[in-house]
Structure 1
Amino acid sequence: MLHFRKTIISVLALFFGITSVSANPAEKMKMIGQYVVVSLDTNDVQSIYLEPDEIGTAVFSEKLDDLVSSWYINNIFLAKDVDTDFTLYRHISVSDSVLIGRLKKVEAAVKLSYNNIVRDWIEMYATRRPAQVEIMLGLSAYYFPFFEEIFDRYELPHELKYMAIIESALNPRAVSRAGATGLWQFMLGTAKGLNLEVTTFVDERRDVLKATDAAARYLKQLYNVYQDWHLVIAAYNCGPGNVNKAITRSGGKTDYWQMYYALPRETRGYVPAYIAATYIMNYYREHQLTPRFPAMALNTDTIMVGQMINLKQISDNLTIDLEALRELNPMYRRDIVPGSPEKSYPVRVPADQVSDFILRSETIYNHERDAHFPDNTLVAPQNSVIAGETEFSTEGKTRIMYTVKSGDNPGYIANWFNISLNDLRNWNNIRRNMIRTGQKLVIYVPEEKVDHYKRINNLSFSAKQALVGKPVTSGQVSEKNERPQRSEAASEDPDYEYYTVKQGDNLWTIAQKYPGISNTDIMKLNNISDVKGLKAGQRLKIRPKS
């Protein structure tokens, strides 16, 4: 609930160090207009805070893009018959009072405040990025039990698990622009201070169990210092030094919202994002969000390896794809597990292949051993690898150039050329997804498909989207005169009611317009097998006329 106070100017003057108010109040309000709203915290109605107005979703949006472009998501979490239109928006209007009421019902040790910036984050999750959130809901079923078990060991609130959503979008390979890596986004110095191994061959920041244990220890240390979970969450993001500076700059205040503008810009949105993540993970059903679970069983087990082995040796001898094995073991930077009699390392494999590994272990260890480990030794790498980035071999690949067109973005381009977003960024030194029209991008493609990929340069935006089975939605059409083509209506049955598909529609939203009709009914009636093939202008048979 928002309240406007007659004394707002004097309150602002005290808070921001304004020593006088001009004779023209409107002019003074124009100068500080973004701070004129006063908000009551939902959990402590006696405390009045200035309500922040900014939202920093750019960094988190980039993490979501990294997540959905990964091999793991596209090959395990997304079945071919699942809607993968990540541009889809869902508009479900929810009042402030309802959101506040729902937050109050969440049992949490971390105070769940509410204001317009928290609402913006909730809308970002529920409305602007629903498909990605559905993937994270599916991922949470895999990761959260690990988190909860470890947090329970350290007597930490279980809801702190939602921090990993903000840190990495539950992507163990996530790397920030500053170099923070893994599910819990540790910088190198912090990781080593927490006894995580980061070497040429191993990066335990990407190990789910090791990194989560380190995160729990770090959170415990921070809470011992601040005794306030909001400050702990902020310090986890920007470091205790920056939080201490913010406390000093705000005149010794230790309330997160009162020191909000003294914090680094990116950190300002961190606690609101955490609160919104807590909300959406508890109330996703109310926003018609459905978890996207793996399209295949993902029961895994761990084998402790006491000698050097390359993941390719395992892949070649077991029925598991090398890329899948890499995704199950993201901590091994060069596919090498540097096991030794002095120190064993874990290798995670599908549970149904553990016995095969044990029975065939001698064959696996000996397979192409001289090629991987000459003289049974680790070979120093010939080229350097930036921490958190995957090596890319150009063997069997051909270098081609793509010219950026108006409306392109790195996510689209990566999909069109069937490459990872990280590879595209690394090849072209792309930062923060910034590319410009006319820019030439280097892309490596399989030698046998060079002609296929070269012709993409000359295709329209709609044609390129069609190559990867993505319909064009409103605002995506980039060429000046290009428009989504309206399908010509086939001969319609006069005994049936029809609906004309509009930009942004999907089968679920269409079904909601007709009580008693489900999206499955529409699919059966119109012989639709691919939910991604819906196009603006298409005519759909809905139900018999009454």
Structure 2
Amino acid sequence: EVNFWISRWNSPEGRKKLRAAERRFFPFRLTVDRVVRSSGIPWEILAIPVVESNWRINAVSSSGAAGPWQFLESSARGRRLIIDAWRDERRDVELSTRAAVSELKFYYRLFSDWLLCCAAYNGGPTRLRQLREQGSYSGFWDMLDDGILPRETGNYVPQIIAVAWVSAHAGRLGLPLNWEMPPRWSSIPLERSIHLNSLAEFLDISVSAVESMNRELNHPVTPPPQSPYSIKVPADTEEKVRKWLKEQKSDAIPERFWRYTVRSGDTLSEIAERTGISLGELLQYNGHVLRGTLRVGERIYLPGDASEPPGAEADALPRWTGKHTVQPGESLWSIARAYSVTPEILAEVNHRRLNQVLRAGSILKVPQIQEALQ
């Protein structure tokens, strides 16, 4: 089984895919290596995003799994990745890698077997755990030989092994090796929103270069201050970017936005005229509309000082109709981050002290997830 997949990944088509994966992975190599090394998990685990997405940061599967590690929305939220109107941290390579490492380490505590961890990453741990507890099977290969694994999982684990083997023997197999030093990035916490095009202009680089460092963002503007965010910049520019941020006017970006759903007959110029803002300002907050036609049902963002159009909603005011069951080890801070709110607001809504230890199993009011995504 493994030899079959080695031959597939070492074929001309497979080698082409591996070269493409390497190109996509290269800018993030230092970050990912640091996360994996500090976690203590085997480096071969990095074959997972090759098989899952071929390291496509913007990959989305038919089931809705997204990012290089292909997290479903429910799994991502369970690993404290933020998914809201402003960002999808499944596309943040460092955070999604940390989430994947956390999930794999959890599986290893269950199985003490990295092959079963990979199988669980693909198909979930429940069935595997039941089989192990029954004492019927000692490991992945026993389960595969007995034909009790789903076909996808049965192919998935040998592929992981094959990709890891081909990568480890790349030089011997004649695959090109990249000896260049990957770029270094720094993360700077923001106290307010900024436009990516303003940052790009200051750094004298393209907007796409800034976007490539911050792929989790849904728009060319960072989230409002009530949803904490750190911008990633080239490491050698960190000091001057920090200085530039301090020099920016505090009112350069509104702290509040309206979300407006496009209706039949709407045009950008008409929306701008109705809401009292310039077309240029409207485009600043909605870079995505530059890449296609305005579509009915599409959501665009308006700065908070715009006149509220019919059907718009205040993005800064989520409705607290959701419920969150506290898990062991969770705090107000970790839960607040998962729902893109501040710990202070979460504590106030739930009548808790900010430093209060939460009891596992207790229920907290949180913003309703679907509303937050609308």
Corresponding residue number in structure 2 for 1:216: 101
Post-superposition CA distance 1:414-456 (Å, at most 9, x none): xxxxxxxxxxxxxxxxxxxxxxxxxxxxxxxxxxxxxxxxxxx
Alpha carbons of structure 1 residues 292 and 130: separation in structure 2 relative to 1, 3 Å: farther
Q: Which moved more, 1:143-152 or 1:159-168?
A: 143-152
Deviation of 1:130 after TM superposition, in Å, equals: 1.7
Name the structure 2 match of 1:264.
150
Deviation at 1:145, TM superposition (A): 3.8
- Runs of 4+ deviating beyond 4 Å: 138-142, 362-367, 391-399
Tell me whether 1:321 sits opposite 2:206 in the alignment: yes
Structure 1 residue 273: Cα displacement: 0.7
Deviation at 1:138, TM superposition (A): 4.6
**Aligned counterpart for 2:46 among listed residues 151, 161, 180:** 161
Q: What RMSD in Å do the two structures reach over aligned CA positions?
A: 3.3
Q: After superposition, where does 1:485-500 map in structure 2 within 5 Å?
A: none
Distance 2:31 2:158 in 1: 25
Structure with higher Rg: it is: 1
1:380 aligns with 2:259: yes
| CA contact 1:301–1:349 (8 Å) conserved in 2 | yes
Q: Is the 8 A contact 1:207 1:329 kept in 2?
A: yes
| 1:151 corresponds to 2:36 | yes
Q: Which runs of 5+ in 2 are unaligned?
A: 264-285, 295-374
Q: Could you say which residue in structure 1 is the equivalent of 2:279?
A: none
Q: Deviations over 1:143-199 (max 9, x none)?
A: 444334323433322332222222222222222221111122111111111111111
Instruction: Indicate the residue corresponding to 1:118 in structure 2.
Output: 2
SS, match of residue 379 in structure 1: strand
Q: In structure 2, how many angstroms separate the alpha carbons of the residues matched to 1:187 and 1:167?
A: 12
174, 180, 183: which is aligned to 1:298?
183
Query: 2:114 matched to which residue of 1?
Result: 229
Taking the aligned partners of 1:230 and 1:194, their CA distance within structure 2 comes to 21
CA-CA distance at 1:282 after TM superposition: 0.8
Deviations 1:105-145 (A, max 9, x none): xxxxxxxxxxxx32222222222232331243355554444
Question: What SS is found at the alignment partner of 2:222?
Answer: strand
1:202 CA drift (Å): 1.8
Q: Provide Cα deviations, 1:50-106, integer angstroms capped at 9, x if missing partner.
A: xxxxxxxxxxxxxxxxxxxxxxxxxxxxxxxxxxxxxxxxxxxxxxxxxxxxxxxxx
Alignment of 1:15-54 (within 5 A): none
Q: Distance in 2 between matches of 1:381 and 1:365?
A: 27
Q: In 2, distance between residues paired with 1:321 and 1:305?
A: 21
Match of 1:336 among 221, 225, 250: 221
Structure 1 residue 287 and structure 2 residue 173: aligned?
Answer: yes
The alpha-carbon deviation at position 238 of structure 1 amounts to 1.3
1:502 aligned residue = none
Cα deviations across residues 247-305 of structure 1 (Å, max 9, x unaligned)? 39x993242223223222222211111111111111011221103578x9733322221
SS at match of 1:337: coil
Residues 242, 264 of structure 1: 8 Å contact kept: no
Paired residue type of 2:208? E
Q: Does 2:194 align with 1:309?
A: yes
Partner AA of 1:137 in structure 2: E
Distance 1:346 1:330 in 2: 12
User: Which residue does the alignment assign to 1:430?
Assistant: none
**Residue 15 (structure 2) aligned to one of 130, 134, 138:** 130
- Percent identity, aligned pairs only, is 26
Taking structure 1 as the reference length, the TM-score comes to 0.44
Judge conservation of contact 1:144–1:161 (CA < 8 Å) in 2: no
Equivalents in 2 of 1:166, 1:396: separation in Å? 29
Q: Tell me which moved more, 198-207 or 158-167.
A: 158-167
Contact 1:201–1:338, Cα closer than 8 Å, also in 2: yes
**SS state of the match for residue 347, structure 1?**
strand
1:240 aligns with 125
Q: CA deviation at 1:222?
A: 0.8
**Kept after mapping to 2: 8 A contact 1:305/1:339:** no
Distance 1:227 1:396 in 2: 48
Contact 2:29–2:182 (8 Å) recurs in 1:
no
Letter in 2 for 1:377: R
1:259 aligns to what SS in structure 2? Answer: helix
Q: CA separation of 1:398/1:209 partners in 2, compared to 1, >3 Å: closer, same or farther?
A: closer
Q: Which residue of 1 aligns with 2:229?
A: 345
Structure 1 partner of 2:62: 177
Which letter does structure 2 place at the counterpart of 1:274? I
CA deviation vs aligned residue, 1:221-253 (integer Å, no higher than 9, x gap): 1111122211111001111134357x39x9932
Say if 2:30 and 2:182, in contact at 8 Å, map to a contact too. no
Give the AA of the match of 2:151.
R
Q: Which residue of 2 aligns with 1:520?
A: none
Corresponding position: 1:255 with 2:134? no
For 1:304 and 1:175, the matched residues in 2 are separated by 28
Residues 465-544 of structure 1: pairs in structure 2 closer than 5 A: none
With over 3 angstroms needed to count, the CA separation of the structure-2 counterparts of 1:397 and 1:175, relative to structure 1, is closer
The SS at the match of 1:280 is: helix
Matching of residues 373-522 of structure 1 within 5 Å: 373=253, 375-380=254-259, 382=261, 393=288, 395=290
1:393/1:158 Cα in 2 relative to 1: closer, same or farther (>3 Å)? Answer: closer
- SS for the counterpart of 1:275 is helix
Q: Which amino acid is 2:143 matched to? A: M
Kindly indicate whether the alpha-carbon contact (under 8 Å) linking 2:67 and 2:91 is maintained by their aligned counterparts in 1: yes
What TM-score, normalized to structure 2? Answer: 0.62
Answer yes or no: is the 8 Å Cα contact 2:220–2:287 preserved in 1: no
Compute the displacement of 1:339 (Å).
4.8
Q: 1:394 Cα shift?
A: 5.2
**SS of corresponding position for 1:270:** helix
List runs of 5+ in structure 1 lacking aligned partners.
1-116, 385-390, 400-546
- Could you tell me whether the CA contact under 8 Å between 1:237 and 1:270 is conserved in 2? yes
